[in-house]
Every structure is written in structure tokens, then in C-alpha cells.
Amino acid sequence: MSTPAPSYGPEQLAMIERLERDVQRQLESKPNRLAHSLSVASTAEELAVIYGVDPYLARVAGILHDWSKALPKGEVVRRSVELGIDLGVDPWLVQPLLHGVIASKELPSLYPELPPEVFRAISLHTTGAADMEPLDMVLFVSDGIEPLRPASAGIEKVRSLVGSVSLEELYWESFVGGIVYVIDGGRYLYPGTIEVYNALALRRRGGAEVAGKN
Ligand SMILES: [Fe+2]
Ligand SMILES: [Fe+2]
């Protein structure tokens, strides 16, 4: 991908610098996670330009999206219970999904100057949803295809589609690729993911299965 760099105002540039400094501190002990976060931020910015989404919001969402990955797993579970986050199953089963929701609840008080869309995108970057806004989809896809992620067939496919399919289609490919990864690895598949998959699949086919019944 090569897109012209967006031009930001002085306040936006100052905020980006501040967030980059903060995330460096937050993820100090996890250099790979830090590099991934900054890489997601650049990828999200580029995708946003391509798909007509606000690149500033995409970049800041990218910088912050894995903020709560700084926590050890046990702390993630403990904090999610404390915050009343309930995905309907034992939190240990969905531990890898919880950091997005935790960050979305903790970051607004640290950065009240950022709009709620940023925190919503961060909240949904692990689980996805059937009703994703464009910024949500930009962050979700960027998280999956940022260049530091080792290539797999699924990731390569999504990378190759950037700019040639709609953002909705790109999100679909990325979401399905994520499910395939979970199943291939014999990992636990969160039931909420199946619901989202079915909602997206039906919408994508224009409700063909439902219409076919009549
Ligand atoms: Fe994440
Ligand atoms: Fe991430």
C-alpha cells in the first residue's frame, strides 16, 4: 500500500505524539506488541485514506488498540470481572478477546479529548460485530494485516484485496480468516463469533437463504 500521508493540524499532531509516547511507556516490557501497535496505526491510517474514513481517528485507534495487552492474563480476567464485562461464557475461555473491551472502558478517562468512535473501534477490534462502522472495520482489518504479522494464506488474501473490494468485503474476508485461524489451531471458538458470522453471511447474500424458503 502506498497512499499520500494525510496532513494533520498542530493539535492532532501533538495528540499523536503524546499517544505514541504513552503507548511506548505502557507497552515498555512488550516490544513486539509495541511495534505491532505502531504498525497497526500506520496501516489503519493508510486504509482510512483508501476507504474515505478519518485517518486521524484510525491512527489514534491503532496506537491505543492493544493498550490493555500490557496486563498479565490473570489480571485481564480479574479486571474484566471488576468492570462487569460479560461475554456470556467463562472469562478464561475468552481471555484473548477481553483486552479490547477493557481498554475501551479505561481509556476514555485518560483521553477525554478523543471521541467515542475511537473507543468503540478499540472495543470491537477483537470480537468484531455485525454492525461495524467504517472506523471499526478499518481497525479490525489493520490489526489482522499490518506488515509485521507473519504471512499466512488468509492474511495474504486480505492484503491483496485492499483497495480492490469494498471495506465491508475486506472486513468479511478478515473476519472469516480469523475464524479459520481459530479452527485450524483447534482453539476455542467464542459462540458470539458464530452469531456475528451468520449475521454477516446472511447480509452478504442479501438474505438469499431466507428468501429461498418462500
Ligand atoms: Fe488486540
Ligand atoms: Fe493488535
Q: pLDDT by residue (tens digit) across 46-103? A: 999 999 999 999 999 999 999 999 999 999 999 999 999 999 999 999 999 999 999 9
Residues 6+ apart with CB under 8 A from 49: 3, 4, 6, 55
Smallest-distance ligand from the CA of 125: 1
Q: Which residues lie near ion ligand 1 (Cβ < 5 Å)? A: 66
Decide: 40 and 143 in contact? Cβ < 8 Å.
yes
pLDDT attached to residue 200: 98
Q: How close is the Cα of 209 to the center of ligand 2, in Å? A: 34
pLDDT < 50 stretches in the chain: none
Q: How far is the CA of 183 from the centre of ligand 2 (A)?
A: 19
Query: pTM of this prediction?
Result: 0.94
Q: What is the pLDDT of residue 5?
A: 80
Cα(55) to centroid of ligand 1, in Å?
19
CA 131 to chain centre: 14
- C-alpha 138 – ligand 1 centre gap (Å): 14
Which domains does the chain carry? 10-212 (1.10.3210.10)
